[in-house]
Amino acid sequence: MHFVIMGCGRVGSTLAHILEDQGHDVSVVDRNPEAFRRLGSHFQGKRVTGVGFDRDTLREAGIEDAEAFAAVSSGDNSNILAARVARETFGVDNVVARIYDPGRAEVYQRLGIPTVATVRWTADQMIRRLLPHGAEPEWRDPSGTVRLAEVAVDTSWIGERVTALEEAAGARVAFLTRFGEGLLPNPDTVLQDGDIVHVIMRDGDAEAVEEIFRHRPEGSQ
């Protein structure tokens, strides 16, 4: 598959190498030709000097044959504009833009432009490691209604089916991490010691769900 990346900073160059190592064809666009030094001599993809939202530049990068487009330059406005051009002018369905301003990211997400708010994402990752389990979501939908969070489970739930935990909490166990690998639970899956439980829940129910996971209600089966 062919991918076009706008921005050859640390993120763009790393993304380009990952995709190429997976066997994909990659074009990287940057207005500064010196930025391509980050790609190194072993990069086999195309280097295109120009503005990433310019139509001729994008055509030179092969946007008309692209499976996906990533805008990861240092400018929020440039990234959004380039993502819109890729989608609306060239019909690329799979586009994503890096955004530093989390407020802007939420707005564009609601408009149907997938975004990665790097500052907020990094802060969330740090908070998740500083605060108790489940205090910060791993993912939240653009409307803020549903969250995915890692939730601590009391040892009293060990040996019980995942469905019992779901019924008691009124939430859905999305997946487990067991021995370092992801596991999709089925109706017969039983919680084991050491399981990390990732739960989908309504954002407003998070506190109640976490309480049930940490303190098993009396009489629950």
**What are 136's two structure tokens?**
């910060």
Q: Are residues 17 and 113 in the same domain?
A: yes
Which domain covers residue 63, as residue numbers? 2-123
For residues 179 and 199, give the distance between their C-alpha atoms in angstroms, rounded to a whole number: 18
Residue 219 lies in a domain: no
Residue 141 lies in a domain: yes
Is 218 within 8 Å of 156 (Cβ atoms)?
no
Assign residue 48 the CATH number of its domain: 3.40.50.720
Q: Are residues 176 and 87 in the same domain?
A: no
Task: Please state the φ and ψ torsions of residue 157, each to the nearest 5 degrees.
Answer: -85, -15
Residue-by-residue pLDDT tens, the chain, 221 positions: 999 999 999 999 999 999 999 999 999 999 999 999 999 999 999 999 999 999 999 999 999 999 999 999 999 899 999 999 999 999 998 999 988 887 777 777 777 777 887 776 676 666 666 665 555 677 877 777 898 988 888 899 999 999 999 999 999 999 999 988 899 999 999 999 989 899 999 988 988 998 899 888 765 55
Assign residue 147 the CATH number of its domain: 3.30.70.1450
- Number of compact structural domains in the chain: 2
Q: Are residues 119 and 45 in the same domain?
A: yes
